[in-house]
Structure 1
Amino acid sequence: MHRVLLVLYLQACSSSPSATTTATPVAITPDAAVDAAPAPPAPDAELAVAPPLVFRFYSTGLVPPATGPRLETWTLRHVGERGMVLVERMAPDGEAFKPASKTLYLGTASDDGKTLTLALAAGTDKLALACKREKLAIAAATAVRKRHAKGKYKECDPGRWVPEKTKSVDVLQCKHPDFDAPMPFAAAPGVEYLYVNDDCQMQGGGYRAIATDAAIAPVR
């Protein structure tokens, strides 16, 4: 007897359109608020435009400090009982200079007609100046430092101005602990103290006018 195997193939066919998936919105948590840096202190509008009194310190030479030539411009303004000093430092850039940093000191001022007293601060850095009104003889802005005639100085020659002619200007003569020489502030463009250290060939300094465009004049 033969057995007949009946193989039934059952095929189920089904089809349906793909369902549209709706994305679930994801809530985005904003970053934690970042406090904006506090604005740097600034003088009030009246103080910012008060007449500037300027002093510049320039130290250079064949034997410069380890940090190189030093060039700083100090601008003093005062009105009423308010005062400020802006210190702008320059850094050597080849044979020229480029801006390096600034410090703005703000605070109080008192003036009795003979002495201007300033009590200023830049953050925790304090600056106290007592400045007397005086006259100061200064060389021309184009004057340079030269040695004296041979034999005048047995040791280090302090140098002299060439041309030697000077003029008298009104200054606020202030003493600062960082400087051996007083700091005379004069009406802009101001007064520069130039110190040249060429070892004992020439080692000394003096005051000269600052050029009207504030350019750095030749040294020798």
Structure 2
Amino acid sequence: MEKEKLTYDIIESFLRKELKKTKHIMTWGTIGSLNINHDIDTIITKKPYSPSADFFKEIHTIFEKLDRYLYNNFKFKLIRFAHSVDEYLIAEYTPERKIMFHTMVYISFPQIKKDWEWAIDDKESIALILKRSYNCIYGEVENLFSKDFQKEIKFENVFTYLYLYDYLNSNLPRELLIKIMNSCFEYLYKKRLKIENPVANNEKEIKKYFYKLCNILDEMNKPK
């Protein structure tokens, strides 16, 4: 199929079907333009009482399926990134035609506020921006303002770091992916949580230690 035949509507239709199967994603939607020739800004949030490991597994699985679908049907590779500069850096490692997803992944509303407040004007309301601009294809914008999602969670900053350095679904070369993710694990396990950091040797182990970290954080968040 030619490039012009791939549209955002086709991508959204695929995502809607996959999202119906999920149990731990609260909302999935876009903010900003839907120009597939640039990137698709996507905000994904977790159901308050769902395990964070299961939440991230669903995200990774959906993007893996979408990547296969795009490549098999349109010869596009999916690139997922969190830092804006990554759009250009990762693209250098992927010569194929690309669909870029700029993802922001959150477990609570206070985490969103902390992640966004440095970048917006003091007079702007994050809640108002989301109500006006967040277009959900799964869940409802109002879910963000539910009592449970408004609760502050311990180690929100660690979850923010984790999503910012989650390079799964980025289609990076294997050795580079392993190097980046092991650096992330060393920082979060060893320097932030003061526990021995594991070392991944392949993508399967990256996922294992990623989800293990999520489980550790969830355990630390349980009431004593």
Q: TM-score, normalised by structure 1?
A: 0.23
Bigger-Rg structure (1/2): 1
Structure with the largest fraction of helix: 2
User: Is the strand fraction higher in 1 or 2?
Assistant: 1
**RCO higher in 1 or 2 (8 Å CA, sep ≥ 6)?**
2
